[in-house]
Amino acid sequence: MAEITAALVKELREVSGAGMMDCKKALQETGGDIEQAQDWLRKKGLATAAKKSGRAASEGLVGMITDGKSGVAVELNSETDFVARNEGFQAFVRNVTKVAMAVGGDLDKLKAADYPGTGRTVDEELTHNIATIGENMNLRRSAGLSVSKGVVAGYIHNKLADDLGKIGVLVALESDGDAGKLEALGKQIAMHVAAARPQWLSTEEVDTAALDRERDVLSEQARASGKPEEIIAKMVEGRLRKYYEEVVLLEQVFVMDTDKKIAKVVDEAAKDIGAPVKLSGFVRFELGEGVEKAAEED
pLDDT tens figures, 249-298: 999 999 999 999 999 999 999 999 999 999 999 999 999 887 654 444 44
Specify the CATH number of the domain 59-195+275-297: 3.30.479.20
Specify the CATH number of the domain 6-47: 1.10.8.10
In the DSSP assignment, the letter for residue 206 is S
pLDDT value, residue 277: 97
Residue 195: closest CA among 243, 152, 258: 258
Architecture of domain 207-247: Orthogonal Bundle (1.10)
Could you give the angle at which helices 87-102 and 122-133 cross, rounded to 10 degrees? 170
Q: Do domains 6-47 and 207-247 have the same CATH topology?
A: no
Distance CA 187, CA 105 (A): 20
Alpha helices in 17-76 (DSSP H): 20-29, 34-43, 49-52
pLDDT value, residue 45: 65
Alpha helices in 44-86 (DSSP H): 49-52, 81-84
pLDDT value, residue 156: 96
22-52, pLDDT tens digit by residue? 888 899 999 998 888 887 887 676 655 444 5
Strand partners, 59: 78
Distance CA 37, CA 30 (A): 6
Expressed in percent and rounded to 5, the helix, strand and coil fractions of the chain are 50, 20, 30
* Domain regions of the chain by residue span: 6-47, 59-195+275-297, 207-247
Mind listing the pLDDT tens digit of every residue in the chain (298 residues)? 668 888 888 888 777 777 788 888 899 999 998 888 887 887 676 655 444 544 555 799 999 999 999 999 999 999 888 888 889 999 999 999 999 999 999 999 999 999 999 999 999 999 998 888 878 899 999 999 999 999 999 999 989 888 999 999 999 999 999 999 999 999 999 999 999 999 999 999 998 888 888 888 888 778 887 888 888 888 888 888 888 898 999 999 999 999 999 999 999 999 999 999 999 999 999 998 876 544 444 4
pLDDT value, residue 228: 83
Residue 138: closest CA among 57, 229, 81: 57
pLDDT value, residue 72: 98
pLDDT value, residue 294: 42
